[in-house]
Amino acid sequence: MMLRNVQSNYSFLLLLVSIQCLLVIVFSTDHYNRADFPPGFVFGAGTSAYQVEGAAFEDGRTPSIWDTFAHAGFSGGANGDIACDLYHKYKEDVQLMAETGLEAYRFSISWSRLIPGGRGPVNPKGLQFYNNYIDELISQGIQPHVTLLHSDLPQVLEDEYGGWLSRKIVKDFTAYAEVCFKEFGDRVLYWTTINEANVFAIGGYDHGIIPPGRCSPPFGVNCSRGNSSTEPYIVVHNMLLAHSSTMKLYRRNYKSIQHGFVGFSIYGFWFVPYTHSVDDVNAAQRANEFYTGWIMNPLIFGDYPSVMKKAAGTRIPTFSKYEAKLVKGSVDFIGVNHYTTASVKDRSSSIQKNTRDFGADIEADISLEALAADQYPVIPSGLYEFLDYLKEAYGNPPIYIQENGQKTRRNGTLNDTARIEYLHAYIGSVLDAVRNGSDTRGYFAWSLLDGLELLGGYGLSYGLYYVDLDDKELTRYPKLSAYWYANFLKGKTSITSAEDKLPIYNL
């Protein structure tokens, strides 16, 4: 069911979607519904600023490192100049959220829209937009969850002192966060400082495949600047310091008044051994400590895992006693972005000892074919086991699943049964984890709209809603997954057997 001349054929396509909603779809034997989750558990969806806002050069906004990266030919050769034009269409999109039944919505603020110079004067137009956006969400009963940085550091700070490579970023990020707390904190209770810091550092400073595109041979792609051996460790260190400084500010000046919560986001790979051999089991454990412990250990215990410090040596920065105290316990919750599980094979005996980066330090081969595939394999046990790992290894911190979703090729189809299968399986795994004692408190499907994806541009689709880029109005169309999610949120039992059917909701 390909989208052709979508504006004129919308009524016909909507009819087809409605019919398809009644089709028999067999996925799982596990029955659950919205009421099975604990009181206070929230369901939502998410997007980020550069992926959907557009208006990149309007009303005082200045470029971010993602603008620069995209215009250099990365991000699938696409850019966010227009994207989904949410900047002008936010009321329409909030209405879609309400009709879908979203209880919460996660979005990010564009630092360079709010403070174009990176520091200093606030942009009145940017401030007005985010105030209006937040007010619109609240008017529809939707709880805003705000991320302060989602891969889009102001380019001016990158140019001035190297962005996250400099300790100067701690002061500037904290000041930016304070503007957000001051201006929006009377309505926003849930703040995530930095999105998936671990993958941002690896992708942006080791492999060079995401902004700002830094790396060094032989580790990265098209490396022209950077040092893959040291920079990922420096970047995460400065992110943790910026986050903990921000948390200190919030607790000192805003917590008692606004009663909000501040968290930190990680990309939650789950690594499993390639075989049952002791070497592969140990390699998988190392991979989990490197990707997850890299962030979680400082936040919970005040220092990096010993296996990382041993492998990286002087290449990984050290926390002073004051910094360790500041970082330890500096989260109210952890945001988890999880998409897939990867297998790990030991290669500690074959790796070169004289050339090291983050990946080499793990001394393992990690199978990441799923990331390059058109769709993720459906392995909900990986999310369950990851949540259990966080519970057992890190004292069961409050968790919000901030991103989880299925990718498909962006080919115009509204018939995304693969996405329904994925969401059904993974939401079920979250329920199982909660029943097993995990303090998981929310789930956000990624994503609300088909936007610009960091690695695939507009060639990949994650959205519950299709956005027709060939239509000057950028019209949104609900996919089958939007109907499925709406039905679930409105209390219908999830699709579980040949007898179950999807009632129709007019989104």
Q: Alpha-carbon torsion 129, 130, 133, 136, what sign? A: negative
In the chain the first and final C-alpha atoms are separated, in Å, by: 19
In sequence order, the 6+-apart residues with CB closer than 8 A to the CB of 488 are 33, 34, 43, 427, 494
Residue 230 is given by DSSP the state T
Distance in angstroms (rounded) separating the CA atoms of residues 272 and 36: 29
Alpha helices in 293-442 (DSSP H): 294-301, 306-312, 321-327, 358-362, 369-372, 380-393, 417-435
HEC profile of 435-472: HCCCCEEEEEEECCECCCECCCECCEECCCEEECCCCC
Active-site option among 53, 136, 158, 196: 196
Catalytic position from the list 323, 363, 403, 453: 403
The helices-and-strands tally (H runs, E runs) of the chain is 20, 15
341-346 vs 270-273, strand pairing mode: parallel
Q: Specify the residue for token string 């919205």.
A: 34
Catalytic residue check, 99: no
Distances (CA, A) of 459 to 4, 51, 76, 83, 436: 17, 13, 7, 13, 38
What's the CA gap between 122 and 120, in Å, rounded? 7
Handedness of CA 223, 229, 230, 232 (dihedral sign): positive
Phi-psi region of 120 (alpha: psi -120 to 50; beta: other; left: phi over 0): left
Question: Is 363 tagged catalytic?
Answer: no
Strands (E), 83-138: 104-108
CB atoms inside a 10 Å sphere around CB 218: 10
CB 357 within 8 A of CB 340: no
Residues classed as catalytic: 196, 403
